[in-house]
Amino acid sequence: MAIPIKNQNAIAKMRDASAIAATVLYTLNEHVAPGITTYDLDQIGRDLIAKLGARSACYGYQVGSRRFPAYTCLSVNEEVVHGIGSMKRILSDGDIIALDVVVEYDGYIGDNAMTVPVGAISDDRAKLLRVTEEALRLGIAKATVGNRIGDISYAVQTYVEKHGFGVVRDMVGHGVGTSMHEEPQIPNFGRRGKGELIRPGMTLAIEPMVNIGNWRTKTLRDGWTITTVDNSDSAHFEHTVLTTEQGPEILTIPRLDSSPTVHAMTA
């Protein structure tokens, strides 16, 4: 299947959708604290998305006969991705939580994620977050016109494994546009010089998912939540990126006046 190349109109709409997703993500981060439930966080995310005139692309997302029941994906500690907000999951000091926000606005998708500490976290968990976020930065830097998708994959994998962590292989990054999942697939492992050629006008969701233990995962009985097999901690960072002749441009930058919790990653 061909990789969609966005024209200027589509790029403008991608900018808007991505900015909304980023604004929700970073504002949601401000509410992360010991004692809050993941259900409460999901409802805050729902309200923020509606306030900004968008809709959650997660809520009702269908795979087979199953529909995702939450507005955001909130994954705690050993949960890798697709965690469902629950009144029973109360955040505690020392936890980590991956916040994953995907919105649809004016027909286009913005997709981003970050993993954040809940209070004071252990050195091992802090290192996991640092390594995963840096792997995302290195992967984005390889999303240059003339490179191949495998160059992104290789950059992520080699950095993560150098630090002794496992790169999740069952889920991958992907193109994004009018659909949440477009071509190409972007694994977080692979070989340099392999895969699809990167051309101007691609919009890519690059998203390292990294485990302290090995890379293997399993799906819980809810049919959605992915966890590590060995119950080790996992982290997830993601940006939507536009490929241009001038280099990769991160689209998921929040539109906020100021906030000490907001840090815009640059490639």
pLDDT tens digit sequence for 60-99: 999 999 999 999 999 999 999 999 999 999 999 999 999 9
Q: Is the pLDDT of residue 40 over 90?
A: yes
Residues in the chain: 267
78 annotated as belonging to a binding site for a ligand: no
**Euclidean distance between CA atoms 170 and 174, whole angstroms:** 13
257 annotated as belonging to a binding site for a ligand: no
174 annotated as belonging to a binding site for a ligand: yes
For the segment 148-180, what is each residue's pLDDT rounded down to a tens digit?
Answer: 999 999 999 999 999 999 999 999 999 999 999
Tell me if 15 is assigned to some domain: yes
CATH number, position 37: 3.90.230.10
Q: What is the DSSP letter of 107?
A: T
100 annotated as belonging to a binding site for a ligand: yes
How many domains in the chain?
1
181 annotated as belonging to a binding site for a ligand: yes
For the segment 104-143, what is each residue's pLDDT rounded down to a tens digit?
Answer: 999 999 999 999 999 999 999 999 999 999 999 999 999 9
pLDDT of residue 257: 61
Q: Is the pLDDT of residue 265 over 50?
A: no
Tell me if 265 is assigned to some domain: no
The model's pTM is 0.94
Tell me if 264 is assigned to some domain: no
Tell me if 189 is assigned to some domain: yes
What phi-psi label fits residue 201: left (phi over 0), alpha (psi between -120 and 50 degrees) or beta?
Answer: left
For the segment 185-201, what is each residue's pLDDT rounded down to a tens digit?
Answer: 999 999 999 999 999 99
Tell me if 2 is assigned to some domain: no
236 annotated as belonging to a binding site for a ligand: no
pLDDT of residue 256: 77
> What is the SS3 assignment for 60?
coil
Tell me if 104 is assigned to some domain: yes
Q: Is the pLDDT of residue 262 over 60?
A: no
151 annotated as belonging to a binding site for a ligand: no
Domain span holding position 149: 8-250
Tell me if 193 is assigned to some domain: yes
Tell me if 257 is assigned to some domain: no
